[in-house]
Every structure is written in structure tokens, then in C-alpha cells.
Amino acid sequence: MKHVFTRLLCLFFATLLLSCQSDVHDTFTTSRFTRQDVRTACLHSPNRGKRIQIFGGSLSVRAMATRYADILKHTLHTTIQFCGRDGAGYGLNTIDGTVNFDAKNGSHAFTANNCVPEQVDHYADPKADIYILWCSTNDYTGSNPIGTVESYSAADGYATDALASQCGGLNYCIQSLRALNPQAKIYIFDALKFFATPGGYDKESAAVNSLGAKFYDYVLAQDAIGAYHDIAVLRQFDLAAFTKDNATQYYLDGYHLNAKGYETLAWYHLYFLATEKTYTGLIAK
């Protein structure tokens, strides 16, 4: 009986230890977490002082006009180049102009002025240390197909038709960046919530685009691409700071952040860049 009690006691303390340790991993929703905690993480980060390129849509571009870049530069001592464009998605369905992709089965021309793969082809710097693929609402609102983790890969013979999908475009970007600089890190930022319709923030909403797909289906696919390639994903959709009730404080409209929204977002991005982990709880000043 004494031995049974000892085993139970050991099991209790082991469980308690594991629960305490879980607080310092991906999510801290019960303990107070502050910007000073983020600064401390940045001091010891292997990503401190690195050169970063960011590819994406309007959310990534508009950050340039706010304190976002200064917060990252001064806290993590980074240099940042913004390569995104308004309206850009990862599928090729986003719009005028012609771009040549050096696909594995030959060179092919597509009408794709506004897609992120074009940004990668034109602006990716082989000397960058970190490439960020910042996802947005554009594939969903543009009704680009979602695709799968095998879209535009060896599994489909690098079918150029697959580049019309969000996942095909993401795969193209990852393959191209790895070929350009195998030593660089690649990160995916999945899409933030948007508040123009319930489908932009409610995982259970029945709202769909013209293809019959939910916005959250696109977010899950972005996360799946990260897992498939063993790439760390910042799960922006799950950030606690932005809710339906406070959206007017942080958003200019239903889709785009204001200056306060970008300042808030910068601290989540800093923590991820410092640790490669997503913190989803609230970050106190």
C-alpha cells in the first residue's frame, strides 16, 4: 500500500510539472505575459540581427507606413524588406500582366501580376536570412482554389494547373526560396481574422466564397503546408488580441489593420521570430 501511495504521489508531481512546463511553450493564456517578456526572448534569439524579406498582400505592405517595422528593427535588430503588393494571393488568379515561371517541366507564362509567387521570382534576395510568406484573405476573396499539400509537387508532376491554387502557389514559393538560399529560414504567417463577415472570424460560420469554401479552410491549408514542409507557422488567426468586439479599435475596415493594430501585431511577430513559437494570449504593455 505504501508503494502504491508513493507511485501516486510521484505521478501527481510529474503531472504538475508537465502542466507548468506547457505554459512556456506555444500558448500562455492563464499567466501574465508582457512586452518585456518578448524583449527578453529577443535578446537571446538566434534570429537577432538577421535580414528579413516579407512577401504577401496588403496587410504586409501597409505595415511599412506604421511603427511595425521600427518595433521589429529596434527590438530584434533586424533589417526588413517588404516585397508584397495590395491584392496579392498565392494562386495565379490575381490579375494583369505576364510572368514566366521556371517550372520543373519547362518555362511557362501566366497572367499573374498580383500573385506572391511573382514577388518571389522578382524580388527574393539570395543574401536574406529569413523569408516570410505572409498569408491573407486574397485567395479566399478571389476564389482561388485551395489545393492540397501536394499541389505543384512531385506528386502531381509539378502540374502548372496546380499553380492556380493557394497551396500550389505556396509550394512554388517554398521550392523557389529553398533553391535560391538553402541556408535561409522560411516562415509562414497564416491569415489574420477579418471582420467584414462572420466567415472571417467564426470558424463555425457557414459563409463561403464562390467556390463553396470557408475562409477557415484556407487558413487550415496554410497551416498544413507549413507542417508538410516542416516550416514554423505563426498562427495569426488564433491571436487573442483581435476580436469581433474590439475590431473597430484595431482595424481600418473589415480587412485592414490601423496603426494601433500593427503596433499590437508587431509584438506577436517579435515573439514568433525570437522563438519560432506562436503566443496566442494577450500581451500586456
Tens digit of each residue's pLDDT (9 = 90 or more) over 147-158: 999 999 999 999
Amino acid symbol at 21 = Q
Assigned domain for 18 exists: no
> How many domains is the chain built from?
1
Which CATH number goes with the domain that contains 246? 3.40.50.1110
> What is the mean pLDDT for each group of 10 consecutive residues in the chain (285 residues)?
44 40 41 93 98 96 94 97 93 53 42 78 96 97 96 95 96 98 98 97 97 98 98 98 97 96 98 98 96
Residue 32 falls within a domain, yes or no?
no
pLDDT of residue 218: 98
Give domain status of residue 16, yes or no: no
Please check whether residue 34 lies inside any domain of the structure.
no
pLDDT, position 93: 63
Question: Does residue 33 fall inside a structural domain?
Answer: no
225 in a structural domain: yes
- Tell me, what's the pLDDT at 114? 75
Percent of the chain with pLDDT over 90: 80
| Residue at 229 is within a domain | yes
Interacting residues of 272 by C-beta distance below 8 A, sequence separation 6+: 187, 232, 234, 278, 279
Strands 185-189 and 130-134 come out as parallel
Rounded to whole angstroms, how far apart are CA atoms 180 and 184?
9
Q: Tell whether 106 is covered by a domain.
A: yes
Domain containing 169: what range?
48-275
For 124, residues 6+ apart whose C-beta sits below 8 A from its C-beta are 53, 55, 83, 131, 176, 177, 180
